[in-house]
Structure 1
Amino acid sequence: MISFDFLAVLAEWPLLLRGVAWTLGLTLVATPLGLVLATLGAWARACGPAWLRRLLGAYVELLRNTPFIVQLFFIFFGLPALGVKLSPELASVIAMTLNLGAYGCEILRAGIQATPRGQWEAAQSLALGPAQTFLRVVLPPSLQRVWPALTSQIIIVMLGSAVCSQISTEELSYAANLIHSRNFRAFEAVFIALAIYLALSIAARRLLMWAGPRFFFGSPRHG
């Protein structure tokens, strides 16, 4: 007869809490950095010179067409061969930032390209410079169009942090594996980790959907 002992896993709550803290910490650092990278990349791909568009296109294609875990291993195990040695946590943040930047760049570029040409021309007629036009006229409605997709991508990156345990980053999946190795309650440890990831995803989605119109692009206008 199969018996489950979830209390044996929950008794290790300090370890689980530490794992959750690391998961959230990695996400909270990588998300703004990734969004800044995505915004700069989207602007450059939409408005930049040809050489820069090609360079960013290569970056986007490379990151979008290779597994995240391979990117992580390259940063953590490959870069030391070039004399760049990083801690597991820093390597995780860099990998998550670059990954979000690549996917977010294409998502945001789609929003920018959907901006009517008349808005660009109206901004130019008001003597706004290129940077002002982009930040004040083009970016806010572009973010509004693609915010649900960006929100989903941020959550995907947060969940992808689970593979960072492979380089000994002490996030939630690392904690679950460690608890399993101590009490051999594999099902219970993985089930509880799954439940926590689900709760974090739902909370993050609601928070981002609430924060978007209030802090990034303003409330939707109805006419």
Structure 2
Amino acid sequence: MNRLQQYFDFTVVWQHRGLILEGLLTTVQLTVLIFVISILPAIAVALARRFGPGWLQRLLGAVVNVARSVPTVLSVVFVYLALPFVGVTLSAFASVLLALSVMQVVYFSEVIRGALAAVAPGQYDAARALGLSPIVMLVKVILPQAAIVAAPPFVSAVVLMLQHTSISSAIALNDLITSALSIQNMTGQASPIVAAGVCYVLLALPLVRLTRRWERARAHAR
């Protein structure tokens, strides 16, 4: 077998397609669930940091800074291996879901907070001049404008979230990477790793293209 076949012998991948598909399903499930769980808390944190009282802004800012300083893989390992010492034992899937959801709240909230800060102060003044209540001003004036600014970095954060699910392999959760590594160990070939890479590209590419289209549309609208 030549070197090229070591990387592109997809008959091996096809023979073990069940394991690959199982890992792919786990990766997709994690990505969707993390998004669903983290998006509303992220919005709440961003709004609190932007419009909340000073003490709350400082407290949440400190929490976010600490969370951003912790490697994501360490948070997963901590939840899975350290929490049992205090009587909290979670499955590998639940550990990854909890750890990555918390981290994603931090990443999403930073994107949303930055978008809220990018809304011109004059928009707030105009909304107040019209007599809009704070809630109506937020829903009808501020958030729609912030969403336009937040869309590209938000999609990038979703792609990063997809990539972070690969950290599951650190605790042997059968995600896409773990499945590919298992097949590689059984067959002695690198083609399962290449196949896993192709799967990640196929999952992330539509989101990346969506970001590019959004940026071009904004550029044309200016």
Corresponding residue of 1:203: 206
TM-score normalised per structure 2: 0.87
Runs of at least 5 residues in structure 2 that lack an aligned partner in the other structure: none
Aligned residues: 216
Determine if the alignment matches structure 1 residue 193 to structure 2 residue 200.
Answer: no
In 2, Cα distance between the equivalents of 1:40 and 1:132?
16
Task: Return the match for 1:172 from 151, 169, 176.
Answer: 176
Aligned 8 A contact 2:156 2:211 in 1? no
SS at match of 2:66: helix
Q: Report deviation, 1:134.
A: 2.0
Aligned pairs (5 A) from 1:77-156? 77-156=81-160
Corresponding residue of 2:34: 30
**Higher helix residue share:** 2
In 2, Cα distance between the equivalents of 1:20 and 1:204?
17
Q: Which amino acid aligns with 2:88?
A: V
Please give the per-residue CA displacement for 1:128-187, whole angstroms capped at 9, x wherever unaligned.
4333322332112112102111111111111111011222322101111121122222x1
Please give the per-residue CA displacement for 1:66-124, whole angstroms capped at 9, x wherever unaligned.
21101111122222222222111111112221112112212211111111223223333
Q: Which amino acid aligns with 1:200?
A: L
SS at match of 1:98: helix
Aligned 8 A contact 2:26 2:175 in 1? yes
Q: Which moved more, 1:96-105 or 1:152-161?
A: 96-105
Q: Report deviation, 1:222.
A: 5.0
Q: Report deviation, 1:207.
A: 5.9
In 1, Cα distance between the equivalents of 2:83 and 2:212?
37
In 2, Cα distance between the equivalents of 1:207 and 1:79?
39
In 2, Cα distance between the equivalents of 1:105 and 1:119?
21
Aligned pairs (5 A) from 1:42-57? 42-57=46-61
Corresponding residue of 2:10: 6
Q: Which amino acid aligns with 1:176?
A: A
